[in-house]
Structure 1
Amino acid sequence: MSDKLKNSLMDRLLKFQCHFTWNLLGEDVDIDNVEERLNDQIEFLPDALKHRMYNLLAYLKHLKGDHEEAMIQLQKSEAQIQESSISEDTDVRRTVMYANFAWVFYHQNQFNKSFTYAEKVETIIKQYESPPKENTLLLDIYGEQGWTYLSFTGKYYQWAAECFEKALELDPDDPELNSGHAMAVYRMEGFRHSSYSENKSFPLLERASRLNPRDTVLKVLLALKYLDMKNYNQGTMLIEQALQEQPESPYVLRYVATFYRKNRQVDQAIAMFKKVLFLTPTSCPVYYQLAKCYRSLIRMPTYYNKQQNAEAIANAIFYSEKAVELNKSSVGAHILLARVYMKANEHQKAKEEFDKTLTMKNMWPEQKQELHFYWAKYLMYSRKSESEAVRHFKEVIKIQSPSWFSENAIKELQSLAKP
């Protein structure tokens, strides 16, 4: 194929809505970790969603330069669509997949096959270019794009929410889209540690739960919001319902365990997280949550016993180091590891982890605030270095983002300024 024809083909590919045109940057994620998460989801989540996971897996294989394996994942996606589709709009669900096929063939220098799949995409688009059929196509594309961003990494949660919002403008009552939107907003609230609109997800989760009464994951997320709002009884009722409905789902159990941890039922949380770890042994979030549980036990009144305190420290270090090992791009896991080293008074390791984490490119402003804030507290109370602590409290405030950390850094500085 001549350069002119190849350039013409590339121009066509760039117009398609698919993983290759959604600005999914490999440098933002630990690709192996995302693959592990997707494989867990394929094992435990409903068949109707699996074609999307195979599509994303194909793109991840592309990022690793393994185009043969990318093709295998796309073939799995195609088979899954064929098995699970019961509507006349099956071709709509193939649009993103066919576009991905075209891109993979292009990268394999199989330009004729790439051209064939590009034509397949354009044929479907032409069939659905007029209202109201156009909405059917847009809903599927917005939905897949939203779920893809939600599966990639925290940096993309805002984009995920925006995709679901666009789709909901077309169909406000779609259960799956409401579910995706609620989850995206919920994750943004937890991810950014911001006091801004911190309960925006509550009504979204309520609505999504009404539209998806069988979705137990939504139920436990709503329970966590009730706990945040100090409505323990309502949260507990939803937790009990979810456990009755899906007692072996690792996703349900993980959020139930998080409910226990936040409610200071730490021993119950640890037991349940370990059950989840048995089901998903390479899950970074589970190791991360276990590390948080053990960190909370360090120097608690019931753990003043030296042996118990040493065990809590050792476990907190083990689980936080494992979380970082499993997902090297997780800023949250790195911050937790630094904080655990601080708790253990491992000064050199804490300093190394602090410095390393501060250089990570995918940090949110609130995460940088969190890191400086806890480093300042450590310097002030464990290292007795008030001047250095003040410098880091000021660093928190310099970062222009309203959060719990900026509010409390100001309070710490005001307290230090008092004679």
Structure 2
Amino acid sequence: MSDILENSLMDHLQKLQCHFTWDLHGEDVDIDNVEERVNDQLVYLPDALKHRMYNLLAYLKHLKGDHEEAMIQLQKAEAQIQESNISEDTDVRRTVMYGNFAWVFYHQNQFTESSTYAEKAETILKQYESPPEKNTLLSDIYGEQGWTYLSFIGKYYQQAVECFEKALELSPEDPELNSGHAMAVYRLEMLSFSSNNTENKSVPLLERAVRLNPRDTVVKVLLALKYLDMKNYDQGAILIEQALQEQPESPYVLRYVAKCYIKNRRINEAIAMFKKVLSLTPNSSSVHYELAKCYKILIKMPTCYNKQQKSEAIENAIFHLEKAVALNRLFVPAHILLAQVYIKGNQHQKSKVVFDKTLIMNNISPEQKQELNLSWAQHLKNSRRSKSEAVRHYKEVIEIQSLSLFRETAIKELESLAETIIVQNPMDATGHALLGYIHQQRGQDI
């Protein structure tokens, strides 16, 4: 193919709506981990959604440079669309898939086939140029884009929200789109590190999603979690019971039920539930992480009243966190928690290695940098290893201009440290200098 024709084809490809044009970056995620999660979804989620998962798997295979396997996944997507009993015109659901086909053929240097599939996608777009058909087509495309963003990492959740909002403008009563929108807003709220985060925007969205699709047990349990946060314990318990009766073997339901147990301080029941989830999805880094968080809670509880029980809880937490980071090398929260638990197990050198490694990860957020520095500062202060190093890390937290709980805690800890220094030696300029620094930082926050 001449350069002119190849450039012309590329112009067509870049105008297609598909995974290759949605600005998804492989370096943002552990591709193997995302692939594992999507394969789990293929087992446990409804058949009507599987063509989307095959589309995403095809793109993940492309990111790994395996275009033959990408083609196989797209063929599975096509077969799934053909076999499923979908009331809408199946061409709507082929649009994204044809775009992916065109791109995969292009990367295989099969330009004629690439052009053919690009034309197939464009033909569907032309067939659906007028409402209401256009609304049906665009809402499906925006929906698939939204679910794709939700399958990556937190930095894409805001884009997922925006995609679902666009889709809902066109199909406001669609149950699946309402569920996706509610889940995306819920996840954004869970990512918030704000010190005054009292918003519960996801609650009415989850309530609406449950009304429109009462069989969606996942949104039921997410709503239950929100109700528990709001101390609406009776309504939360009802939803949990309903979800367990409807899908007692769904790992997605069980893991959120386990989180409900945590909120009710039923930690041993949560551990048992997460272990059941792990038996269903053994390579889930997030379930290993959740188990580790349970063991960390146990470490602080009166039930760990003797040295052996505390030691066992620490060992279990470390085991599951090491599994989590092995399964997902870019799992920042698991790295942070591992550094913290290593400290509790007096494995300070291992903690420092994880600490240093995590701080330079490309996908670590400002708030996560704050949390990591705060943890290390607390360790240095409490172990009395180095007061000056503790001060340096508290300042690292404070100078990241994100008004989070971590920053607020660092300011209070540094202020307490300064006052202790002054009480011990009123003539020590260090304490007064620190108070001046804190005053200056608080003045900038106003």
TM-score (normalised: structure 1): 0.97
1:365 Cα offset (Å): 1.8
1:351 Cα offset (Å): 0.7
1:376 aligns with 2:377: yes
Which string of whole-angstrom CA distances, capped at 9 and with x for unpartnered residues, describes residues 270-294 of structure 1? 1010001110000111100011111
Q: Is the 8 A contact 2:136 2:171 kept in 1?
A: no
Aligned partner letter, 1:209: V
More moved, 226-235 vs 92-101: 226-235
Q: What are the residue-to-residue correspondences of 1:307-386 with 2, within 5 Å?
A: 307-386=308-387
Give the 3 Å change call, closer, same or farther, for CA 383–57 of structure 1 in structure 2. Answer: farther
The corresponding residue for 2:246 is 245
1:302 counterpart SS class:
coil
The corresponding residue for 1:387 is 388
The corresponding residue for 1:268 is 269
Q: Is the 8 A contact 1:196 1:402 kept in 2?
A: no
The corresponding residue for 1:168 is 168
Q: Is the 8 A contact 2:136 2:170 kept in 1?
A: no
Aligned partner letter, 1:368: K
Question: Which structure 2 residue ranges, 5 or more long, are not aligned?
Answer: 424-446
- Determine the C-alpha separation between the residues in 1 that align with 2:160 and 2:88: 27
More moved, 68-77 vs 220-229: 220-229
Give the 3 Å change call, closer, same or farther, for CA 411–129 of structure 1 in structure 2. Answer: same
The corresponding residue for 1:146 is 146
Q: Is the 8 A contact 2:367 2:404 kept in 1?
A: yes
More moved, 250-259 vs 187-196: 187-196
Which string of whole-angstrom CA distances, capped at 9 and with x for unpartnered residues, describes residues 128-180 of structure 1? 11222211111011000000000011111111111111112222222111111
Which string of whole-angstrom CA distances, capped at 9 and with x for unpartnered residues, describes residues 157-210 of structure 1? 111111111112222222111111111111112123334464221221111111
Q: Is the 8 A contact 2:285 2:328 kept in 1?
A: yes
1:85 Cα offset (Å): 4.0
1:301 counterpart SS class:
coil
Aligned residue pairs total: 419
- Determine the C-alpha separation between the residues in 2 that align with 1:364 and 1:94: 36
- Determine the C-alpha separation between the residues in 2 that align with 1:140 and 1:337: 40
The corresponding residue for 2:9 is 9
Aligned partner letter, 1:33: N
Runs of 4+ in structure 1 deviating by more than 6 angstroms, as ranges, are none
Aligned partner letter, 2:23: N
More moved, 85-94 vs 150-159: 85-94
Q: What are the residue-to-residue correspondences of 1:140-289 with 2, within 5 Å?
A: 140-194=140-194, 195-196=196-197, 198-289=199-290
- Determine the C-alpha separation between the residues in 2 that align with 1:196 and 1:89: 43
- Determine the C-alpha separation between the residues in 1 that align with 2:327 and 2:15: 35
1:299 Cα offset (Å): 4.4
1:87 Cα offset (Å): 2.4
Which string of whole-angstrom CA distances, capped at 9 and with x for unpartnered residues, describes residues 58-100 of structure 1? 0000011111100000001011111114324210110000000
Q: Is the 8 A contact 2:150 2:184 kept in 1?
A: yes
Question: Which structure 1 residue ranges, 5 or more long, are not aligned?
Answer: none
1:117 Cα offset (Å): 0.4
Q: What are the residue-to-residue correspondences of 1:37-186 with 2, within 5 Å?
A: 37-186=37-186
Q: For CA contacts below 8 A with separation 6 or more, give which structure has more relative contact order.
A: 1
- Determine the C-alpha separation between the residues in 2 that align with 1:243 and 1:47: 21
Give the 3 Å change call, closer, same or farther, for CA 197–67 of structure 1 in structure 2. Answer: farther
Q: Is the 8 A contact 2:217 2:243 kept in 1?
A: yes
Give the 3 Å change call, closer, same or farther, for CA 198–404 of structure 1 in structure 2. Answer: farther
1:87 counterpart SS class:
coil
1:240 Cα offset (Å): 1.3
2:24 counterpart SS class:
coil
1:307 Cα offset (Å): 1.2
The corresponding residue for 2:442 is none
- Determine the C-alpha separation between the residues in 2 that align with 1:295 and 1:116: 56
- Determine the C-alpha separation between the residues in 2 that align with 1:287 and 1:86: 36
- Determine the C-alpha separation between the residues in 1 that align with 2:328 and 2:265: 26
- Determine the C-alpha separation between the residues in 1 that align with 2:17 and 2:198: 31
1:102 Cα offset (Å): 0.3
- Determine the C-alpha separation between the residues in 2 that align with 1:198 and 1:367: 21
Q: Is the 8 A contact 1:183 1:205 kept in 2?
A: yes
TM-score (normalised: structure 2): 0.91
2:303 counterpart SS class:
helix
Q: Is the 8 A contact 1:345 1:382 kept in 2?
A: no
Give the 3 Å change call, closer, same or farther, for CA 299–319 of structure 1 in structure 2. Answer: same
- Determine the C-alpha separation between the residues in 2 that align with 1:412 and 1:198: 27
1:394 counterpart SS class:
helix
- Determine the C-alpha separation between the residues in 2 that align with 1:391 and 1:88: 61
- Determine the C-alpha separation between the residues in 2 that align with 1:208 and 1:401: 32
The corresponding residue for 1:21 is 21
Which string of whole-angstrom CA distances, capped at 9 and with x for unpartnered residues, describes residues 376-399 of structure 1? 222211345333222222222222
Which string of whole-angstrom CA distances, capped at 9 and with x for unpartnered residues, describes residues 234-282 of structure 1? 2222111111111111100011111112322110011010001110000
Q: Is the 8 A contact 2:295 2:314 kept in 1?
A: yes
Identity of aligned residues (%): 77
Give 1 or 2 for the bigger CA radius of gyration.
Answer: 2
Q: Is the 8 A contact 1:196 1:403 kept in 2?
A: no
